Amino acid sequence: MGIKRRSNPVVEQDGAGGGAEDLCCREDPAAAGGCGVWLGAEAAARGGNGARRFVSQRVLVESDVTAGIYLRELGTGIATIKFKNPPVNSLSLEFLTEFIICLEKLENDKTYRGLILTSDCPGIFSAGLDLREMCGKNLAHYAEYWRAIQETWLKLYLSNMVLVAAINGASPAGGCLMALSSDYRVLADNPRYRIGLNETLLGIVAPFWFKDVLVNTIGHRAAEHALQLGLLFQPTEALQVGMVDQVVPEDQVQSTALSVMTEWLAIPDHARQLTKSMMRKATADNLIKQREADIQNFVSFVSRDSIQKSLQVYLEKLKQKKH
């Protein structure tokens, strides 16, 4: 089978393509080449703790295989994706590429009915779009980047799995979008963990589909207010306005996400999936029917001198903050 065991896959991983191939030959080497490592069930069993660890560089995927093997017969199985793209889990093109592949694998693996999204970087869920991908690059790059952003959103928003966002850090812009695209949002009760679509503060504009998901979640008026002012809500207000569904002490975020997940997974899958799809299809179709146009809009917009300038100013400010 060609499956190698690795004691510490993260450390030994030597680049996207490097060690992935051997371990991926069981699956689809071509697809997995850039993604990372899928340990075979045997290796996992030998691991002893029952957890099957799928590791890529920036996206850790843990699945509760003890539950998975046991629950596989009952048709339940929960994976957790932990964002690990320090320092702020920004959605770089590399990260998105790995993320998309992970999402695809989980979506196509009938073992998995539920997915928890959370962060491995302290204090930050995700800072959202990586501005360095949007600055000082060529038009083709902007197009490729935006396509990846669209793809990520569509995969999250239309996932048949139950998605629970365990928001254990700040969550502006694209981070907020990923949370909003989930079925349920649990936020840690920490005033530094603000969540919202703050694009206007950077001089840019949230895409219409960000707006659509926000309107679906908190309503039109609140969305109009929040989007124009680029509001970042602290947990109490985030709960009040409906941006998140629950706020719990920081050390209870993961367990709460899990118990919410269990509640959702008790619903017959096909009925829940058809219902979810019925609720979300129109919103997703709004983008799907005009993806290329949306990409062109983004490319034209972001490549404007004034926008490039805004972004560069903002990136400079961020660098100043660090030093």
Residues classed as catalytic? 129, 174, 198-199
User: Which segment (79-87, 199-207, 210-218, 285-293) binds a second copy by CB under 8 A?
Assistant: 210-218
Closer to a second copy at the Cβ: 109 or 245? 245
Q: What count of other Cβ atoms lies within 10 Å of the Cβ of residue 7?
A: 7
Q: According to the binding rule CB under 8 A, does residue 217 interact with a second copy?
A: yes
Q: What are the C-alpha distances in Å from 103 to residues 35, 51, 160, 161? A: 11, 19, 11, 10
Backbone angles phi, psi at 62, to 5 degrees: -110, 135
User: Which segment (49-57, 263-271, 297-305, 309-317) binds a second copy by CB under 8 A?
Assistant: 263-271
Angle, helix 208-218 to helix 139-157, in steps of 10 degrees: 30
- Please choose, from the candidates 221, 157, 170, the residue with its C-alpha nearest in 3D space to the C-alpha of residue 196: 170
**Which positions from 241 through 260 interact with a second copy, judged by CB under 8 A?**
242, 245
Q: According to the binding rule CB under 8 A, does residue 224 interact with a second copy?
A: no
User: Which segment (77-85, 91-99, 112-120, 209-217) binds a second copy by CB under 8 A?
Assistant: 209-217
Binds a second copy (CB under 8 A): choice among 72, 155, 272, 291: 272
Binds a second copy (CB under 8 A): choice among 31, 45, 267, 318: 267
Closer to a second copy at the Cβ: 264 or 301? 264
The token pair that represents 116 in the structure block: 């928890």
Binds a second copy (CB under 8 A): choice among 218, 226, 253, 307: 218
Q: According to the binding rule CB under 8 A, does residue 240 interact with a second copy?
A: no
Q: Please, what is the minimum distance in Å from the beta carbon of residue 270 to a second copy?
A: 7
Binds a second copy (CB under 8 A): choice among 88, 204, 276, 299: 276
Q: According to the binding rule CB under 8 A, does residue 275 interact with a second copy?
A: yes
Closer to a second copy at the Cβ: 105 or 276? 276
Length of the chain: 323
**Which positions from 158 through 197 interact with a second copy, judged by CB under 8 A?**
183-184
Q: According to the binding rule CB under 8 A, does residue 76 interact with a second copy?
A: no
User: Which segment (52-60, 121-129, 278-286, 291-299) binds a second copy by CB under 8 A?
Assistant: 278-286
Closer to a second copy at the Cβ: 126 or 182? 182
Closer to a second copy at the Cβ: 101 or 227? 227
Q: What is the 3-state secondary structure (H, E, C) of the chain?
A: CCCCCCCCHHHHCCCCCCCHHHHHCCCCHHHHCCCEEECCHHHHHHHCCCCEEEEECCEEEEECHHHHHHHHCCCCCEEEEEECCCCCCEECHHHHHHHHHHHHHHHHCCCCCEEEEEECCCEECCCEECHHHCCCCCHHHHHHHHHHHHHHHHHHHCCCCEEEEEECEEEEHHHHHHHHCCCEEEEECCCCCCEECCHHHHCCCCCHHHHHHHHHHHCHHHHHHHHHHCCCECHHHHHHHCCCCEEECHHHHHHHHHHHHHHHHCCCHHHHHHHHHHHHHHHHHHHHCCHHHHHHHHHHHHCCHHHHHHHHHHHHHHHHHHC
Report how many residues bind a second copy under the rule CB under 8 A. 22
User: Which segment (54-62, 64-72, 133-141, 267-275) binds a second copy by CB under 8 A?
Assistant: 267-275
Binds a second copy (CB under 8 A): choice among 144, 264, 291, 314: 264
- Which residues of the chain form contacts with a second copy (CB under 8 A)? 183-184, 215-219, 242, 245, 263-264, 267-268, 270-272, 274-276, 278-280
